[in-house]
Amino acid sequence: MERITKEQVRHVAHLARLSVTEEEAATFTEQLDAIIEFAEQLNELETENVEPTTHVLDIHNVLRKDEQRPSLDREEALKNAPDQEGGQVKVPSVLE
């Protein structure tokens, strides 16, 4: 059973601005079909009484307490900047 077609592979490649040869499209079609087939095996699992989880282990983020602390003064923060102007790091323009 074909789950993905060459036309779909070529369409996605076009959307991604990729050029694919006919041979590559055939290869990707086979590979993606195998991936989809493997993923569909999950549908065969009995999950009726399984509680949803976000992680297999009971973990949580350990964050430090949010405390106000003094920061660097502007001169200290800018002392290693290669170029600065008006109290800010000066960078080359990226717009024309």
Residue with tokens 């989809």: 36
pTM above 0.85, yes or no: no
pLDDT tens-place string over residues 20-79: 999 999 999 999 999 999 999 988 988 888 888 877 788 888 888 889 999 999 989 999
Task: Specify if 16 maps to a domain.
Answer: yes
Strand partners, 84: 89
Query: Could you tell me the residue range of the domain that residue 10 belongs to?
Result: 6-43
- Is residue 71, in this structure, part of any structural domain at all? no
Number of domains in the chain: 1
Helix 22-40, helix 6-15: angle, nearest 10: 100
Instruction: Provide the 10 A C-beta neighbour count for residue 28.
Output: 19
